[in-house]
Chains A and B, each alone.
Chain A
């Protein structure tokens, strides 16, 4: 199948391209940019006039809920949501049931995901067996089966010695350890950012120091082990400052923020809106502003959707009892473009944070439109505003603190390996 995408504004940050250029695809690969290769007869032409053509998005954190939580979401529903959101590669954390801690499960997940012929799925293996924080998993076998790194998801390691050993072992083989920095004791049971807002609402808090204490520990362990660490979903200004220093020091560390923390603050909890019950909690305006600045200046490497489908029964509950998390795959592009619009960020810089930069973090060849690479492409209309309602989402997760928002940028077409896997209309 030969495809010609014409008249679009092509933005490929990894190749410094932002220009009106045509894109030519053949046998699943990008074969030319600009002028057609000799003897190229397109089977199909997509007119991308007034649209932006970018590499397919790479999402560093998307829960697909399989295996184990099919009542919340299935691979099919969530991979459909991914391509409807322009996401062509996604990394899923190991907090499924059973936990992704053995190679057979990884093999099965990869195979089932591949059979959907939608987005590429790259699992993170569990860092410890059952995510219990005690025994190391078979990281070599898990890597052979397809894991691209190792994570504790939302399960915190209490025993620092286990974390030390895990990092030493991962470093031995050059694996990346993905950690969401949070102290295992401080802030336990907390559901909101510690501060005046949580005090007024009578909600127990997660203080910023729960993040910064964990960061200090992780960095100290990195100094000793040299392990490469990716820090997931940083939430605070103080955390960002520590990461800035760590990068300056030369530690092998990268980090991401979620689309929620890029836009929202604790005040968005409003009158106990369980859709704003997230982990880590939404923090203060100062923290939000620091996160925005840190994405812009490069301290934060990537923006992720933190996609977490939650069903009604687990959200229509008292705030503190509601399951944390919100749907995100279909919002990632729009919320990044919203940030770009609001903060006057060059779209190419914004798009880098959801394409080539996360691909670099995860060690994937994705996230670019280099000639010869897999034709994973997203075509969107930056002028099409749309209203977020549960019914427009392909994901089984219908909960989002952005429900009712008008959002910019609507995905029109998504290609994975040269196949048109989603077309609006």
Chain B
């Protein structure tokens, strides 16, 4: 089947998922990001790679952090950024999703950065752009439902590469609400693509989706067992709404079994790093002592995130 995120030359047309993304493209994005990291430290934090291009941030679901980092990344690339908080605008007036896209494309958009609560929406937009012969417009998935959050996945890979160098010797544990997490899915696909020999998922049975084994993941229900000798721990945010719907009794009870405490962290390798996609719930999935401790690289993730998003956008704009 035609992979909609690659063009006919096998180059990145859209960034929709890390699943099936060729390793060469992943490495190209990470290498490009590396060259952008230092820009943030310069006096003039801009490069002219996307001068004259218009990036539309289409956030059908609320977000502050991701939208802001995309906005900063666009501005550092000298693009014009237009933020649309669609949750509160046209679609609530009855306009359909694809009508919104057509209208914005008519304003000569070059790139859509899309977040939506439903899985697959960036594919719907990409297909529509293809069907209406608007192949000059690129789509970046900034998170769709439970499906994918590829720039988060890539920035996590950047962070791991920065601290650990070689992917092929690592054990990586992803802890918490895997069922609802697009970050977990994007991380899993990227980690397996980059050759990580052991990816673990840790959580209660109610928060682990079926079929993880087929994605190349070892499943653990016991936190202590799952953390043993890992090099990287990715803790996931636990949404409050999970307490309804009979998935969990309470946040406290979750912390009791799956909260990352200093004692539990000690089970991992001594030089293990702790990551979190943010925003954190201290005392729910992570203890403050760990979040603020020497092994946490959570703020580095945020910094690298801008460089990775710059890399993705500049590569797309050049294809």
Contact partner, A272, options B97, B119, B146, Cβ 8 Å: B119
Give min CB distance, B168 to chain A, whole Å.
Answer: 23
Question: Does B212 interact with chain A (Cβ within 8 Å)?
Answer: yes
Given contacts A200-B19, A203-B146, 7 further A-B contacts (CB under 8 A): A195-B210, A198-B209, A202-B146, A271-B127, A317-B96, A318-B145, A319-B118
Q: State whether A202 touches B185 (Cβ < 8 A).
A: yes
Give min CB distance, B115 to chain A, whole Å.
Answer: 12
With A and B bound together, what is the CA distance between A313 and B96 in angstroms?
8
| Residues of A309-338 whose CB lies within 8 A of B | 313, 316-321
Give min CB distance, B206 to chain A, whole Å.
Answer: 14
With A and B bound together, what is the CA distance between A272 and B116 in angstroms?
14
Q: State whether A318 touches B97 (Cβ < 8 A).
A: yes
Contact partner, B119, options A313, A316, A319, Cβ 8 Å: A319
Chain A residues with a Cβ closer than 8 Å to the other chain, count = 23
Question: Does B4 interact with chain A (Cβ within 8 Å)?
Answer: yes
Q: A270-B1, A318-B116 are in contact. Are A196 and B121 (CB under 8 A)?
A: no
Nearest-neighbor residue (CB-CB) of B212 within chain A: A199
| Residues of A242-273 whose CB lies within 8 A of B | 270-272
Q: State whether B210 touches A318 (Cβ < 8 A).
A: no
Ordered by A's residue number, 14 sampled pairs between the chains whose C-beta atoms are within 8 Å are A194-B210, A196-B211, A198-B210, A199-B209, A199-B212, A200-B211, A202-B148, A204-B146, A272-B123, A317-B97, A317-B124, A318-B118, A318-B120, A320-B145
Give min CB distance, A30 to chain B, whole Å.
Answer: 47
Q: State whether A272 touches B214 (Cβ < 8 A).
A: no
Give min CB distance, A18 to chain B, whole Å.
Answer: 39
Q: Mark B105-123, 1 if CB is under 8 A from A, else 0.
A: 0000000000010111101
A interface residues, Cβ below 8 angstroms from B: 194-205, 270-272, 274, 313, 316-321
Q: State whether A196 touches B118 (Cβ < 8 A).
A: no
Question: Does B67 interact with chain A (Cβ within 8 Å)?
Answer: no
Q: A194-B210, A202-B147 are in contact. Are A320 and B118 (CB under 8 A)?
A: yes
Q: Mark B182-214, 1 if CB is under 8 A from A, else 0.
A: 100100000000000000000000000111101
List B contacts of A199 (CB < 8 A).
209-212, 215
Category for how many chain B residues contact A: 20 to 34
Question: Does B104 interact with chain A (Cβ within 8 Å)?
Answer: no
Contact partner, B4, options A197, A201, A271, Cβ 8 Å: A271
Q: State whether A195 touches B211 (Cβ < 8 A).
A: yes
Give min CB distance, B7 to chain A, whole Å.
Answer: 15
| Residues of B39-97 whose CB lies within 8 A of A | 96-97
With A and B bound together, what is the CA distance between A319 and B146 in angstroms?
13
Give min CB distance, A192 to chain B, whole Å.
Answer: 10
Q: State whether A196 touches B214 (Cβ < 8 A).
A: yes
With A and B bound together, what is the CA distance between A320 and B148 in angstroms?
15
Give min CB distance, A81 to chain B, whole Å.
Answer: 25
B interface residues, Cβ below 8 angstroms from A: 1, 4, 19, 96-98, 116, 118-121, 123-124, 127-128, 144-148, 182, 185, 209-212, 214-215
List B contacts of A203 (CB < 8 A).
119-120, 145-147
List A contacts of B182 (CB < 8 A).
202
List B contacts of A318 (CB < 8 A).
97, 116, 118-121, 124, 145
List B contacts of A202 (CB < 8 A).
119-120, 144-148, 182, 185
Nearest-neighbor residue (CB-CB) of A319 within chain B: B120
Q: A200-B185, A202-B119 are in contact. Are A316 and B211 (CB under 8 A)?
A: no
Give min CB distance, A373 to chain B, whole Å.
Answer: 47
With A and B bound together, what is the CA distance between A205 and B128 in angstroms?
26
List B contacts of A205 (CB < 8 A).
210
Q: State whether A200 touches B144 (Cβ < 8 A).
A: no
With A and B bound together, what is the CA distance between A315 and B317 in angstroms?
31
List B contacts of A270 (CB < 8 A).
1
Give min CB distance, B95 to chain A, whole Å.
Answer: 12
Most buried by B among A195, A272, A320, A321: A272
List A contacts of B119 (CB < 8 A).
201-203, 272, 318-320
With A and B bound together, what is the CA distance between A195 and B212 in angstroms?
9
With A and B bound together, what is the CA distance between A2 and B120 in angstroms?
57
Q: State whether B96 touches A316 (Cβ < 8 A).
A: yes
With A and B bound together, what is the CA distance between A321 and B123 in angstroms?
14
Q: State whether B120 touches A272 (Cβ < 8 A).
A: yes
Nearest-neighbor residue (CB-CB) of B4 within chain A: A271
Give min CB distance, B18 to chain A, whole Å.
Answer: 11
With A and B bound together, what is the CA distance between A69 and B119 in angstroms?
28
Q: State whether A197 touches B118 (Cβ < 8 A).
A: no
With A and B bound together, what is the CA distance between A286 and B95 in angstroms?
41
With A and B bound together, what is the CA distance between A205 and B96 in angstroms?
26
List A contacts of B96 (CB < 8 A).
313, 316-317
Q: A200-B19, A202-B182 are in contact. Are A321 and B118 (CB under 8 A)?
A: yes
List B contacts of A198 (CB < 8 A).
209-211
Contact partner, B210, options A196, A201, A316, Cβ 8 Å: A196
Most buried by A among B96, B97, B145, B148: B145
Nearest-neighbor residue (CB-CB) of A204 within chain B: B146
